[in-house]
Structures are given as C-alpha cells and as structure tokens.
Amino acid sequence: MPEYWLVVAMGFTSMSAQLILLRDFLKLFQGNELVIGLLLASWMFITAVGAWTGYRFRRLHHHLALLFLVLAWLPPLTHFLLVWLRYTFFTPGVMTGLLPVLVFSWTVLLPFCFVSGMSFPVFSGSLSERAGSNHTNRIYYLEASGSLAGGALFSFVLVFLFPHWAALFLILLLNMGVLATVAWRTGRRKILGWSVASMAVTAFFLLFTDPGKLENRWLFPGQQVVMQQESPYGSLTLTRMHGQWQLYENNEMLYSTGIPALQEEKVHYPLSQHPRPDTLLLVFGSWNGMLQEISKYGPAAVDAVEINPELVEMLQSEFPEISASWLAMHFQDPVIFVNRAKDKRYDAILVNAPPPDNLQTNRYFTREFFLRCRELLSPGGVFSISLPASGNYLGESARKNHSILYFTLKEVFPYVTIVPGEEDYFIASAREFDWDITGLITEKGLENDYMNPWYISNDLIRRRADRIVEALTPDIRLNTGLYPVATFTHWKQWLSHFDWLHSLVPLIFMLFILLTLVRMNPVQVVLFAGGFASAALEVILLLAFQVLFGYLYLATGMLITVFMLGLYLGSRTAEYRKGGKEKPFTRPLVGLATILAAMPVLIFLLKNSSLNAILVPVFIGSITLLTAFLVGTLFARGTRLLQKDIFRSSGRLYSADLMGSALGAMLVSAVLIPLTGIIVTCFLTAGVALAGMAWYRYSSPGISV
C-alpha cells in the first residue's frame, strides 16, 4: 500500500525533528543533564499520551494523508514558536528554573508530540483493517526505518551544512515530495494540490527569506550579529555592541572583550610560580585572550586543545597569537589528548574549563584527569583550574564545590593553593606556592594592566585564601568520572536559587509517570519495563563513553542511528519468525537485564584497556545494536497478543514503551547516576527489567491487551 511510505516518512520526521528541537531547547536554556532528562521525558510522555488516547481519533483512518500533512508542518512551526515564546516570556541573561522550563516545553511540544503519538495507533488500525490482519509490528519497524534515515541525515549531513530553521524546511520539502507521490498514486487530487503548494511555499522560504535574522534580533537584542555558525558542538554567535565583542555558544557567553583582569589572572597566577615556563598545555582558552598573556613569557612550545575548530576560526582575526609559531592547535577532546600524550612533558597545564555543572565538563575536574595531568608535568610543573569566585563568604553549596575540588586535587598533588580573584584558582604543584606574586611578576619583567604591585596586594589575597581554606569541609567524597559528586552539588546549588517546588519537579514528574502503571495490564507492564531498561542502558552507554574516552558529539548521532537500526532488525526478524515456534514473550527482558548487570565489568575492562578510538565506538555501538534488537523483538512479540480493537491496543502498547523510556531516561540521568554512580545504577535498572518479567509471569495475564 502506498500509505506505507507515509509511515516511513512519519518516523523520518519524528526523529529528525526530535534531534533539532532538543538542540533548540539546549541552545535557548543552556541545559544540563537534569534539563535534558526533563525534556526527553516530556517529549516521550506527551507522545505516549497521544498514543494512549489515539483510538479516540479512529475516524481519521480515512484521512491518513491529511494527518501526515499536519504532522509534517508542525516541526518548523514548533521551532519558530519556541524562539518567539523564549524571546517574549523570558528575559535574556536571567537564570531559568526547572518549573518554567517544564511548563514551556509542554506548551511548545504538545502539538507535535501529541499528533506524532496519536498517528501510530491511527495508522496501525487503519492499515490493519485494510490488510485484514494485524499490521502493528509492520508499522513499528517501518517507522523505525524512517527514524534511522532521519537520525543519520541530520547527525551526519544537515548539522554541518544548515541552521536549524533551514534544516527543518528541507525536511518538510522531502516530506511534501513523498506526500505528493502517494497522493498521485492514490488519486487524491486535493492532497496532491496541498502538497505541491506546500513545496512551493517551503522553497520560497529557503531561497528568498532569512528567518535567522529575525531570530537573532529576538535572541541578541541591541547587539549586531557579526557572524553565526552552526557546528556539531553547538551554535556559535559573534556579536558587537558599543565597540565590545561577545562570543556565545548555545546563547551562553564564552568571551567578552574588555576584561583584562580575568585574562591576566588565569595566566599569571600559575605561570608566575614557575621559573621558566617553556612548554605549556592550554585546555580551552585560545579564544579568550589567554594566549596573548602567555606570549609575554616567550614560550618555546604551547599545545592548545579545543573541541570546536569553528570557534577558533571565528576569532582568528581578533587574536593573531592563534597563528604564532610556538603554538600548536589540537582540535579534539582534552581527555583524549592527555590520555594519548605519552611522550609529552609540560612546565604548566592551564585548564580553562567551565564549572562541572554537567557530566561533560565534570570530566575535567575528576581524580582520573588530574592523575593523567600530573604524569604530563615536568618536575616542578604547575597545574591550574578554577571555579566561580566565592567572594568574601562561602555559602553551603560553594563550600561543597570548593571542598570537592580542593581535596580531589590533594589526592593527586602534594601542594594545592586556592588563589581568589575574578575566579577562584586552584593551583597545584609538587612544591609550595610562593605568595610573593607581584614580586615574581616584576622579577620576570612582565608588563600587565592589572597584575602588578600597584593594583593587587599579596597579603590581602593570601588572607582571603586562608579564609576559604579554613571554611572547607574535609569529610567530602572525591570527584570521579563514575561518581560525579561535583556535578550533583552544582545542580543543588543551581536549584537553590529557586523555591522548593523547582527541586521537586523531577520527582513529581516521575511520580506522575509511575502512576500510569496502575492502568496497565501485565503485557503493557512488560513493554514499560523494556522501555525503561533500554533508555537507561542508552544513557549509561553514552555517559560511559563520555566519561572514559572523551566527548564525541557524532557518537550521539551514531548511537541513535544504530539504536533505530536495532529496533528495525529486531521487530523485522520477529516478523519473519512468525510462522515458527513461538518464543517466550519476556525473554528479551532477561537479555536486557543481563547486559545491564554486565555493564560494570565491561566499563572496567574498557577503562583499563588500550582500545583505540575506532574500536571503542564499534564496541559500544554493538551493545547499542543488541539492546535495540531486544526491544524491537519484545514489541513484536507483544503485538502478537493483540486480538481485537487494533486502534486501541496498538496505541496502549506503544504508549507503555514510551512511558518506560521517559522514566528511564530521566531517572537515570537526573537522579540515579548523580546519587549512586554508574555502577550501582546498572544493577538497579537490571532489577527493573527482571521485576517487569516477574510481574507478567505471576499475574496470569490473558491474551487480550
């Protein structure tokens, strides 16, 4: 039937729109894993509600083409609604709490997610009626094949070439081409006319308009946008206002001219402690003026590590030091770089990383990272990293943040000193810190605007430093990659800026999802447990890859694509075996639980192995493929238990899977890993899979769903 092409396009649209719109949310709200978990859970929950209630819209089974037309137009409309509402209701630069983000995300995502979820039972029921047999599983794997194509196209092509609004219009253009073909083959002239008109409107927007300029006026009021570029790592924007330059990544300011004190402190506090810093490693910071300060020491060689090459290219004209003969730029993850730098030795390592308020940046504040940096330091070498300034008084959250970093460093370096300034700098070395900072700078003949005897007092800085150290609490857990206590502490500090309801938002939301279990029969509970275990396992795989081997944005796109491939293969294979001996329904849950229970051992082996950067994604991708294969098989076997009312029962099964995935993604990323670490989380989620199996076996379910 030609309508099957609409099912494939429906999966294509849903996956590509999910990737783009979630990036929009992260760009506009600078989200951490807590926000990401909330958004993913909201997306899947609203889609699940649409699937659960989809049988009420069974009358649309005569209008599948019209339903697809509406679904195809919703992603670009949602994008522009998202940007406009963000500009209208949220003041730029003001911190946003979880509750406003939740309300905002539900308002914006409701139309697309609900229609997307509702479309599954409508298509399943309609095409099953026409075929005279249950085609729910076929709809499932056809949609998965479309999701596979959508994830691959955006992750590996569109993200490199187009801004989000243009990518969404290109996807709409492709969808209208598919709809026009289906309408032509089925003789639906009115739908054909609408699809051709939609193609003309879309082409006009792509060729003759630039909605990006309007978005910039909303997002950067009063600023002239000089340059803007989408990269695999985020959206970069360079603006100018009253002669001052600002650089933003995902709408978060990375650099602004006119702050010489900050640039001088980051360099001269640590480098003044070394008699002759000839070889340096700079982790981030080649774009914020630090290289200009480093050049005053006349270094022989500096390795500067950046993740995003587009960021450096954007600022190369403003900072000529980027092209200096003594500088070698390395565009890769810093964790990968330090792990591979076997023969390097540095007199100083300066880490200019953002605070560990998410699991990505937390890796630069872990005991493992500090140990590797110590191995790269020459005798008497200096290591420096910073946290936001605490001021004259350390609040409870700031005390915990400073204590975690200080005592984690003390586990690695004999001497650790906190030097307060525009930020609080943690300077570690094998020798004691010399508090005659201005004397050392004068002795080296350096001319600074701020770091000189006329502007700073060594005694005052030391007294402030002593007060900070005295306020620290030594009974603190060390920060590691597999137990990121620094990130969880930063989340608590962020939530402390809002009332108590913001802190309870994730728990209330998860409780609301759990309450849906009351209305599920045993078959749906199995799908719920399978969705929970698979989503949890995907989060664990991504975080394990990120923690152990460094950040690689394309790995996310790769794993999503591989997961969709696994869903397709699992459900399609089960379709081929339909005539053979029936396998136990819950056996895939045993496989998921086994993988989860084995993950701690696998992570340990990966951590202590010498696998290269090619084999690691292949290994993790293989586990992802197996996980998705089991989930696809589980759903396919569940659909065989459907006997009547395909409109209602197919939506309930699909909804149960999504509900479990929503809870798994949020609970694991936002609660379990920060509280218990990756290892314990693996065993807890394995228990959920086994509990779902036990519930089914001891509830004597009937075959009607």
User: What is the edge-to-edge ordering of all strands in the sheet holding 252-256?
Assistant: 224-231, 234-241, 244-249, 252-256
The pLDDT value recorded for residue 1 is 63
Look at residue 704 in the predicted model and tell me its pLDDT.
42
Instruction: Note the pLDDT tens digit of each residue in 531-555.
Output: 999 988 888 887 777 666 555 455 6
What's the confidence (pLDDT) of residue 644? 67
In angstroms, the CA 585 to CA 633 distance is 9
pLDDT-derived band of residue 643, with 50, 70 and 90 as boundaries?
A: low
Residues 6+ apart with CB under 8 A from 452: 438, 441, 442
Which pair of structure tokens corresponds to residue 361? 């940046």
Q: Which of 341-355, 462-476, 607-621, 678-692 has the lowest mean pLDDT?
A: 607-621
Contact 247, 255 (CB under 8 A): yes
Total-model pTM: 0.83
Q: Could you report the per-residue pLDDT of 228-284, keeping only the tens digit for each?
A: 776 666 677 778 887 777 777 767 776 676 677 888 999 999 999 999 999 999 998
The residues, any chain, with a CB within 8 Å of residue 262's CB and separated by 6 or more, are 422, 423
Domains 3-213+498-697 and 260-478 share a fold: no
Q: Which has more pLDDT, 341 or 404?
A: 404
Tokens representing 678 are: 């990756």
What value does the CA radius of gyration of the chain take, rounded to a whole number of Å?
A: 27
What are the tens digits of pLDDT across the range 419-441? 999 899 999 999 999 999 999 99
- Which of the four pLDDT bands, split at 50, 70 and 90, describes residue 142? very high
Q: Which tens digit of pLDDT belongs to each residue from 12-62?
A: 999 999 888 888 887 777 666 677 777 888 888 999 999 998 888 888 878
Assign 34 to helix, strand or coil: helix
The Cα 360–Cα 308 span in angstroms is: 14
% of the chain surpassing 70 pLDDT: 88
* Confidence grade of residue 85 (pLDDT, cut at 50, 70, 90): confident
CATH fold of 3-213+498-697: Growth Hormone; Chain: A; (1.20.1250)
Pairing of the two strands 301-306 and 327-331: parallel
Positive or negative: CA dihedral 63, 66, 72, 75: negative
The residue-averaged pLDDT of 113-134 equals: 88
- The Cβ-side half-sphere exposure at 49, using a 13 Å CA radius, reads 14
Q: What is the pLDDT of residues 395-407, one digit of tens each?
A: 788 899 999 999 9
Q: Determine the Cα angle at 373 with ends 372 and 379, to 5°.
A: 115
Helix (H) or strand (E) holding 109: helix 98-131
pLDDT (mean) for 91-105: 73
Domain edges within the chain: 3-213+498-697, 220-254, 260-478
Predicted local confidence at residue 703, as pLDDT: 45
On the question of pLDDT at 303 being above 80, the answer is yes
Half-sphere exposure for 286 (CA within 13 Å, toward CB):
31
Residues 6+ apart with CB under 8 A from 3: 64, 65, 123, 126, 127, 182, 186
3-state helix, strand, coil in the chain (%, to 5): 65, 10, 25
CATH number for region 260-478: 3.40.50.150
When the pLDDT of each residue in the chain is averaged and rounded to a whole number, the result is 84
Q: Which of 56-70, 101-115, 214-228, 479-493 has the lowest mean pLDDT?
A: 214-228
User: Rounded distance, CA 17 to CA 66, Å?
Assistant: 19
Q: What is the pLDDT of residue 77?
A: 94
Work out the burial of residue 449: count CB atoms within 10 Å of its CB; fewer than 13 is exposed, 13-18 middle, 19 or more buried. exposed
Secondary structure (3-state) at 253? strand
